């Protein structure tokens, strides 16, 4: 039996990423859609018999098995928590939450409603990332990881919710950085971070020429972004592995490039590719393994851009039925949001006069 699914949020992610893939997948049946905006509801092409609601409170566990939630960041915990509390399982786009307190609230809602929260994170489902993961056992003891996702020109809509701290929680660290943290956990296993140093900058966020034209977003009138467009950090995990991370919505590079390098006692593996949908990308992913001065290029799967989003859905119905799935997404999200909180705290301490945006931070992580 297919999973009766509602899509909550008909913005770019809901409309372009999830609706077409859910409709094309045999495991899912889109039975409802939700958006608070009248224009978004009117523009949504709903088949006959599929209601389009103005609020998620119209969804009940009697009618819906799963809600795919793709609303602005600041609404994630509120919308997902209410659905979970009513017994509706949720597949929530990243970031799952903006603070450790929101993670706690989602965990409580999951327990109260007896539902399951699943986290949307596409990057670990890429074929080239899977090929890199297959090399990890050959690297010996992994000592260090370097992860970066740097766009040439890719700031989201100027003045839109992505670039407003009160609605996004932060800037590129919550956007691209969350993908990088999820990818790291998928490659090396989850682990808390014991040391965090980070800096941020905002040279491009309010310059229209550096916007993501490929998203076809229109700049918000008279609005100014107040988040970082670039984040650089150095971390140490509890297992002793050091991590260097860089995320950038814009740069002086010619292409949008994602790079993941894992250095181990027996070799170094590196993947160079482009995450996401930007047309300004490397022509093909390149995976290499270096040992004792010799670098070998290894094959990676040839797959369509964005296929990782479809692949997330392939096992989702089965995961939804597993009792062990409950609580897992919250635990992973809590680790990520805590390191992001600590990163922003470090960035603030580097700029005590507040001259560089550094996301939302409410105090020391616990």
CA 31, distance to chain mean position in Å, is 25
Helix (H, G, I), strand (E, B) or coil at 64: coil
Same fold flag, 3-122 and 125-309+339-350 = no
DSSP per residue over 174-242, as a string? IIIIHHHHHHHHHHH----EEEEEEEEE-SSTT-GGGB-GGGTPPPPTT----S-SEEEEEEEETTS-E
In contact, 61 and 115? CB cutoff 8 Å: yes
As averages over each run of 10 residues, the pLDDT of the chain (366 residues) reads 95 92 96 96 92 97 97 96 98 95 97 95 95 98 98 86 92 97 97 97 91 64 84 98 98 96 98 94 96 98 93 92 92 96 94 61 39
Helical segments of 278-359, H only: 307-314, 316-321, 328-350
Q: In whole angstroms, how far apart are CA 208 and each of 63, 155, 159, 168, 356? A: 44, 9, 10, 19, 19
In contact, 226 and 159? CB cutoff 8 Å: no
CATH for the stretch 3-122: 3.40.50.720
Residue 25: its H or E element = none
pTM of the model: 0.92
Query: What are the boundaries of each domain within the chain?
Result: 3-122, 125-309+339-350
> What pLDDT, on the 0 to 100 scale, is given for residue 362?
43
> What pLDDT, on the 0 to 100 scale, is given for residue 351?
74
Fold type of domain 125-309+339-350: Dihydrodipicolinate Reductase; domain 2 (3.30.360)
């Amino acid at each position: 039996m297919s999973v009766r699914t509602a899509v909550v949020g008909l913005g770019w992610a809901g409309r372009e990423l999830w609706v077409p893939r859910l409709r094309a997948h045999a495991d899912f049946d889109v039975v409802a859609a939700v958006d608070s905006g009248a224009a978004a509801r009117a523009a949504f092409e709903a088949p006959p018999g599929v209601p389009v609601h103005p609020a998620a409170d119209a969804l009940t566990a009697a009618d819906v098995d799963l809600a795919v939630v793709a609303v602005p960041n600041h609404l994630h915990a509120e919308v997902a928590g209410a659905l979970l509390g009513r017994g509706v399982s949720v597949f929530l786009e990243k970031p799952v939450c903006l603070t450790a307190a929101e993670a706690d609230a989602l965990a409580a809602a999951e327990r109260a409603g007896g539902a399951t929260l699943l986290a949307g994170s596409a990057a670990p489902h890429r074929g080239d990332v899977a090929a890199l993961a297959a090399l990890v056992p050959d690297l010996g003891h992994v000592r260090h990881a370097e992860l970066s996702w740097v766009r040439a020109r890719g700031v989201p809509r100027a003045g839109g919710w992505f670039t407003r701290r009160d609605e996004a929680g932060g800037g590129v660290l919550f956007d691209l950085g969350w993908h990088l943290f999820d990818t790291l956990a998928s490659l090396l296993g989850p682990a808390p971070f014991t040391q965090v140093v980070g800096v941020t900058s905002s040279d491009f966020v309010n310059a229209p020429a550096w916007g993501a034209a490929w998203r076809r977003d229109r700049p918000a009138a008279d609005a100014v972004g107040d988040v970082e467009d670039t984040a650089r950090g150095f971390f140490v995990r509890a297992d002793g592995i050091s991590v260097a991370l860089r995320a950038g919505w814009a740069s002086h590079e010619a292409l949008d490039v994602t790079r993941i390098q894992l250095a181990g006692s027996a070799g170094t593996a590196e993947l160079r590719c482009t995450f996401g949908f930007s047309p300004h990308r490397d022509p093909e992913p390149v995976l290499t393994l270096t040992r004792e001065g010799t670098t070998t290029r290894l094959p990676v799967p040839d797959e369509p851009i964005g296929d990782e989003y479809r692949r997330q859905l392939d096992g989702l119905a089965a995961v939804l039925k597993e009792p062990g799935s409950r609580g897992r997404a919250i635990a992973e999200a809590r680790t990520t949001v805590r390191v992001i909180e600590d990163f922003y705290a470090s960035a603030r301490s580097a700029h005590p006069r507040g001259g560089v945006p550094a996301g939302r931070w409410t105090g020391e992580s616990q």
